[in-house]
Amino acid sequence: MPAPYVYRFGSQRTDGAAAMKNLLGGKGANLAEMCRLGIPVPPGFTISTEACTAYTQLGRQQGRDALLAMIDGEVREGVAAIEAEMGKRFGNAADPLLLSVRSGARASMPGMMDTILNLGLNDEAVAGLAARSGNERFAWDSYRRFIQMYGDVVMGLKPTSKEEHDPFEVVIDVLKTQRGVQLDTELNAADLQQLVQRFKSLIHSRLGRDFPTDPWEQLWGAVLAVFESWNNERAKVYRELNDIPESWGTAVNVQAMVFGNLGDSSATGVAFTRDAGTGEDLFNGEFLVNAQGEDVVAGIRTPQQITLVGSRRWAELAQVSEDERRATYPSLEELMPGLYQELLAAETTLENHFRDMQDLEFTIQEGKLWMLQTRNGKRTGAAMVRIAMEMLAQGMIDERTALLRVTPDRLNDLLHPVFDAQALKGATPIARGLPASPGAATGQIVFHADEAEAWHKEGRAVILVRQETSPEDLRGMSVAQGILTARGGMTSHAAVVARGMGKCCVSGAGAVHVDPKARTMTVGGVTWHQGDWLSLNGSTGEVFDGRIPTQDAELSGDFGKLMALADAHKRLEVRANADTPLDATVARRLGATGIGLCRTEHMFFQGERIQAVREMILADDEAGRRRALAKLLPMQREDFEGLFRAMGGLPVTIRLLDPPLHEFVPHDDAGQQTMAQQMRVPVAKIKRRVEELHEFNPMLGHRGCRLGITYPEITEMQARAVFEAALNVQAEGGQPFPEVMIPLVGSVREFNPQAAIVRKTADAVFAERGAKVHYLVGTMIETPRAALVADSIGKAAEFFSFGTNDLTQMTMGFSRDDAGSFLPAYVKLGIYDQDPFSSIDQKGVGQLVEMAAQKGRAVRADIELGVCGEHGGDPASIGFFHKAGLDYVSCSPFRVPIARLAAAQAAVG
Ligand code: PEP
Ligand code: MG
């Protein structure tokens, strides 16, 4: 392979550029780019990934000799160039040049390889550093840190077992005990000098060789160690998990060290080109005079603000007077105005160049500014939106880039209440569960849904804590601030319903032991009683003791602009899963263009309806069932009217009854007694019926269209409610558009009789009223068989809506309600990349979706194709559905904005 292998960067000559990431790695390429922009960067050079590949192919000993032969000359020239620019000599005893050596692969591989700092120090150079800095302690501390890093990373002196402590730290602890001090910072220069001796002895005795004092030997050792690290276990595992090819190799960056702790004309700091918290277009950051980089973040000294504006804002918050601020905490702008102007110029150049908010690190060494790093800065969801929209308005980025800049899931930060950041700082979680439904909630614990309602009526904020929730808990859930369950996964009842309500929920917190009788919950021996305060973070799954104040979300103007932009680019429509007019109104406000799933059974639990439902279940014959259904009809009709009104002319997909009937009857003695009294039947009859309804696998049992097939009168009542409601709303001047959906179909012979009842009922109602509405009859595709025979079903059904919850459950053979006991382990082991109930399993379940979509389209060109499983709100899944050519996704109302953005990203991506 031809030279060069070494690419220099600095003020005199820069060989690389940002575009050369493959050859120079990400870090090396960006350092070179900064130099090209005329930004002052400590000079250095990058040894290319090709050198690493050549070395790796030859193996350790042969590789070492070959590599040295190959790059020795170029590296020596590189070091000479650094010496020339810094005016110092490598290995010089009076004023030594010190180097940092860092790995840098094409893709960032955090933690793969430690950095080596202060390379070039030895017993002579340390004296030079002490003299030059006038700070003996600093010089010896730098030296002992270097030996420690080098001994570990390059020489391999690490703990030999999990139980063993880091051998260097053990030596430090012994010395601290001998000196009677607690902290490293309490060790003085003489102590640190002693430590250097002990470290060297440790290396000699443990490794049988000496710590190298020749700077060149140090340098070669470090370079080879970085190349070796490409093939350490950690790196291999990381590569496998992230699909990074072994052939890439890593580059090595060798760079002059600069110090911010060489007196009062030195400083170090971090800065952001815009506010990472709010997104405001305001340069900001912190610095410390006479300090090392880690001091700024260590929190021992109070960092000062870089800009005067920032400094004044800080002083107001910290309640520091203007006089004290100016005297004790002046901004960099006031303290070093010239250097501040230089920094300002650099930040402007970098942001304009990279066209994104930059996170910068800098050091001022004896009055000279050096930029050490620039990278795209991490930011809050709110800042993401504001920065993207403002950069678009400022003409810095185009619409496509603006859309891709916002991570859809981060919109959650804007849509739900969040904890007060200050209050959260002092809180430690007592348990963790799944982040089932985002938001922050704080309230008093109750253990029963009816008690949640009662407490709510008294004006109290409650957190409903349950082992797991069931449809009976619905009303309690709807009034609670948040829901915590000890069992259940991401598609458990609690999780699905809470997401639908936009309510904070943490599910499956296994460490929480719930005793609903005693009205207590216990975590690790500590007990909470009814009425105690608890706080939940549904975005992280954390459970906190006590009361943490929350703040309401604000949908700012930039949010609206982003949504409008998304709508202009997306192809997929976004509908919402909504069961009530309130849900529907929220969904429309958040931009839904239809209801993709109304789970009608949710309406059955409200008020006296449950009694009519139970009467129907208990009835001995069809006539009895029809009597009960007649009571339900007006209630269902009213529900549907509400939905049609809320949705205007937009489609409303109404699914016929789906869950197994046992979900509607009480299973405990007390509940059965009450039911017997209310219905005036012997309790034995109730018990018998409940037993009859018991199923071993209710999810694969008597549910979905199987109910309508065996009890056609249920389908008839629901269809009548739909069409009567539609005609009533039409008579008011509305434009209802019902889409009636048959659940859990596996054969067209199940679909046909159900569709026939719907159509016949529609005709009957239309004839009675002398009016009509346009409607569709379609099916869910949620059994694997339905996907396989989608061509035959598609001939009869006007739309398909993929029920990817059940489709995942049945395709993978994982119970939606029980997978929590093994799925996390599966994901951890990498058997599946992620929870297939959260993000669609593209290779397996996804194949069925693609195939059914094609088969459907082949037999009915205008068939409407949608998704109403939980995946409809997952950005990665939405990308997949876009490619599969579906027409819409449907998700819980609060995920609608996320889905709109994800759909736009899929379209422009
Ligand atoms: C589904 O199975 O994906 C679906 C939407 O139906 P449910 O979750 O109500 O079973
Ligand atoms: Mg289903």
| 3-state SS string for 416-429 | CCEECHHHHHCCCE
Q: Is the CB of 39 under 6 A from ligand 1?
A: no
Tokens 């003085």, residue located: 188
Distance from residue 797's CA to the centre of ligand 2 (Å): 17
Mean pLDDT of 816-842: 91
Tokens of 752: 């046909």
**What is the pLDDT averaged over residues 434-453?**
92
Other residues' Cβ atoms within 10 Å of the Cβ of residue 610: 18
Nearest ligand, CA of residue 807? 1
Name the residue of 707, 868, 870 to mutate for ligand 1: max ligand atoms within 8 A of Cβ.
868
Residue 115 pLDDT class (50, 70, 90 cuts): confident
**Does the beta carbon of 600 sit less than 6 angstroms from any atom of ligand 1?**
no
Query: Which of 599, 600, 654, 815 to probe ligand 1 with, by most ligand atoms within 8 A of CB?
Result: 599
Q: Which residue has the higher pLDDT, 332 or 420?
A: 332
- Alpha-carbon distance of 403 to 909, in angstroms, equals 9
Dist CA 260 CA 363 (whole Å): 5
Instruction: State yes or no: pLDDT of 133 exceeds 90.
Output: no
Instruction: Starting from the CA of residue 471, give the closest ligand.
Output: 1
| Ligand number with the minimum distance to the CA of 870 | 1
167 lines ligand 1 (CB under 6 A): no
> What pLDDT score was predicted for residue 111?
63
Instruction: Give the separation between CA 251 and CA 508, rounded to whole angstroms.
Output: 44
Query: What percent of the chain has pLDDT above 90?
Result: 75
Q: Which atom of ligand 1 is nearest to the CA of 782?
A: 2
pLDDT given for residue 297 in this prediction: 58
- Least confidently predicted of 177-181, 295-299, 883-887: 295-299
838-875 burial, b at 16+ Cβ within 10 Å, e below that, comes to bbbbbeebbebbbebbebbbeebeebbbbbbbbbbbbb
Res 494: pLDDT: 84
Where is average pLDDT lowest: 261-275, 282-296, 445-459? 282-296
Q: Give the model confidence (pLDDT) of 12-54 as tens digits.
A: 999 999 999 999 998 899 999 999 999 999 999 999 999 999 8
Examine the pLDDT at 242 and tell me if it is beyond 90.
Answer: no
Residue 470 tokens read as 């069931």
Is the shortest distance between the CB of 742 and ligand 1 below 6 Å?
no
356-365, 472-481, 523-532, 746-755: least confidently modelled range: 472-481
**Cα-to-centroid distance, 804 and ligand 1 (Å):** 7
Structure tokens at 360: 């910068």
* Lowest-pLDDT choice from 76-85, 258-267, 656-665: 258-267
Work out whether strand 6-9 and strand 267-272 pair parallel, antiparallel, or are unpaired.
Answer: unpaired
- Residue 556 — very low, low, confident or very high, per pLDDT cuts 50/70/90? low
Instruction: Please list the active-site residues.
Output: 493, 868
**Amino acid letter, 388:** A
Tokens of 96: 């030594």
The secondary structure of 640-652 as a DSSP string is HHHHHHHHTTSEE
Mean pLDDT in residue range 538-563: 87
Q: Could you give the CA distance from residue 103 to residue 222 in angstroms, rounded to a whole number?
A: 10
Centre of ligand 2 from the C-alpha of residue 888, in Å: 17
Measured from the Cα of 597, ligand 1's closest atom is 5
Q: Please work out whether the CB of residue 868 comes within 6 Å of at least one atom of ligand 1.
A: yes
CA atoms within 13 A on the CB side of 158: 8
In 581-730, the DSSP E strands lie at 595-599, 651-655
Cβ of 597 below 6 Å from ligand 1: yes
d(CA 583, ligand 1 centre) in Å = 17
Output the residue whose Cα is nearest ligand 1's atom 4.
803
Q: Which of 291-300, 344-353, 647-656, 790-799 has the lowest mean pLDDT?
A: 291-300
What pLDDT score was predicted for residue 664? 92
DSSP 434-499: EEEE-SEEEEEEESSHHHHHHHHHTT--EEEEESS--GGGHHHHHHSSEEEESS--TTSHHHHHHH
Q: Is the pLDDT of residue 3 over 60?
A: yes
Task: Determine the distance separating the centroid of ligand 2 and the alpha carbon of 825, expressed in angstroms.
Answer: 25
> Average of pLDDT values for 533-545?
93
What does pTM read for this prediction?
0.81
Closest ligand to 872 CA?
A: 1
Instruction: Identify the band that residue 491 occupies on the pLDDT scale cut at 50, 70 and 90.
Output: low
Is 141's C-beta closer than 6 angstroms to any atom of ligand 1?
Answer: no
Averaged pLDDT score across all residues of the chain: 92
Enumerate the β-bridge partners of residue 105.
Answer: 250
869 CB less than 6 Å from ligand 1? Answer: yes
- In the prediction, which pLDDT does 300 show? 61
Give me the percent of the chain exceeding a pLDDT of 70.
Answer: 98
Q: Report the SS3 class of residue 719.
A: helix
* pLDDT tens-place string over residues 690-726: 999 999 999 999 999 999 999 999 999 999 999 999 9
> Has residue 888 got a pLDDT over 70?
yes
Ligand 1 atom nearest 804 alpha carbon: 3
Helix, coil or strand: residue 19: helix
| Ligand 1 within 6 A of CB of 744 | no
- CA dist 27 and 146 (Å) reads 22
Burial 887-899 (b: 16+ CB within 10 A, else e): bbbbbbbbbbbbb
Cα 909 from Cα 900, distance rounded (Å): 14
Q: Whose CA is nearest to atom 3 of ligand 1?
A: 803
CA 246/CA 230 separation, integer angstroms = 8
Tell me the mean pLDDT in the region 488-492: 72
pLDDT digits (tens, 9 = 90+) for 156-215: 998 888 778 889 999 999 999 999 998 887 899 999 999 999 999 999 999 999 999 999
Cis upstream peptide for 549 (omega within 30°): no
Nearest ligand 1 atom to alpha carbon 870:
3
Question: In angstroms, what CA-CA distances link 37 with 11, 32, 68, 340?
Answer: 10, 9, 32, 18
Which residue's alpha carbon is nearest to atom 10 within ligand 1? 806
The residue whose CA is least distant from atom 8 of ligand 1 is: 805
Looking at ligand 1, which residue's alpha carbon is closest to its atom 6? 803
Is the per-residue pLDDT at 677 higher than 60? yes
pLDDT value, residue 278: 81
pLDDT digits (tens, 9 = 90+) for 607-647: 778 999 999 999 999 999 999 999 999 999 999 999 999 99
Give the start-end residues of each E strand in 306-367. Answer: 358-365
The Cα 543–Cα 525 span in angstroms is: 16
Would you state the structure tokens that stand for residue 267, as one six-digit string?
């400083």
Section 237-257 average pLDDT: 88
> Ligand 1 center to residue 491 CA distance, Å?
9
Ligand 2 centroid–CA 861 distance in Å is 25
Look at 825 and 2; give whichever has higher pLDDT: 825
Q: Taking 80 as the threshold, does the pLDDT of residue 108 lie above it?
A: no
| Res 113 pLDDT > 70 | no
Shortest-distance ligand to the CA of residue 804:
1
Q: Beta strand 799-802 with 864-867: parallel, antiparallel or unpaired?
A: parallel
Give residue 314's pLDDT.
Answer: 87
Average pLDDT over residues 408-413: 87
Q: Is the CB of 816 under 6 A from ligand 1?
A: no
**CA 812 to centroid of ligand 1, rounded, Å:** 15
Residues near 42 by Cβ (< 8 Å), separated by ≥ 6? 86, 255, 256, 257, 258, 370, 372
pLDDT of residue 299: 56
Does residue 1 register a pLDDT over 60? no
Closest CA to 652 of 594, 612, 610, 609: 594
806 pocket-lining for ligand 1 (C-beta < 6 Å):
yes
C-alpha of residue 658 to centroid of ligand 1, in Å: 9
Q: Are 596 and 866 in contact (CB under 8 A)?
A: yes
Is the CB of residue 803 below 6 angstroms from any atom belonging to ligand 1? yes
Cβ neighbours around 645 below 10 Å, total = 17
- Answer whether residue 295 shows pLDDT above 80: no
Average pLDDT over residues 522-535: 95
Distance 775 CA to ligand 1 centre (A): 22
Q: Whose CA is nearest to atom 9 of ligand 1?
A: 599
Mutate to test the pocket of ligand 1, among 597, 653, 780, 805 (most ligand atoms within 8 A of CB): 805
* pLDDT of amino acid 110: 66
DSSP state, residue 3:
S
Q: How far is the CA of 785 from the centre of ligand 1 (A)?
A: 16
* Cβ(804) – ligand 1 distance below 6 Å: yes
- Say what the pLDDT of residue 609 is: 87
**pLDDT at 722 (0 to 100):** 98
DSSP-derived secondary structure letter, 406: S
Beta carbon of 873 within 6 Å of any ligand 1 atom = no
Q: Which of 360, 340, 372, 354 is nearest to 41 (CA)?
A: 372
Would you place residue 496 in the very low, low, confident or very high pLDDT band (cuts 50, 70, 90)?
Answer: confident
Distance from Cα 897 to the centre of ligand 2, integer Å: 23
Average pLDDT, integer, range 329-353:
97
Contact at 8 Å (CB) between 650 and 729? no
For residue 867, which ligand has an atom nearest its CA?
1
Identify the pLDDT of residue 878: 98
DSSP H or E run through 256: strand 250-256
Cβ of residue 782 lying under 6 Å from some atom of ligand 1 = yes
Model confidence at 426: pLDDT above 80: no
The ligand placed nearest to the CA atom of residue 808 is 1
Quote the DSSP letter at residue 821.
G
Comparing C-alpha atoms, which of 167, 230, 233 is closest to residue 203?
Answer: 167
Residue 864 pLDDT grade (very low, low, confident, very high; cuts 50, 70, 90): very high
Pairwise CA distance, residues 259 & 125, whole Å: 16
Say how many Å lie between the CA of residue 576 and the centre of ligand 2: 15
Span 869-897, mean pLDDT? 97
Atom of ligand 1 nearest to the CA of 803: 3
**Which ligand 1 atom sits closest to the C-alpha of 806?**
2
What is the tens place of the pLDDT at every residue in 721-737? 999 999 999 999 999 99
Tokens of 54: 């050549």
Residue 685: closest CA among 730, 626, 624: 624
Distances (CA, A) of 622 to 618, 627, 742: 11, 9, 21
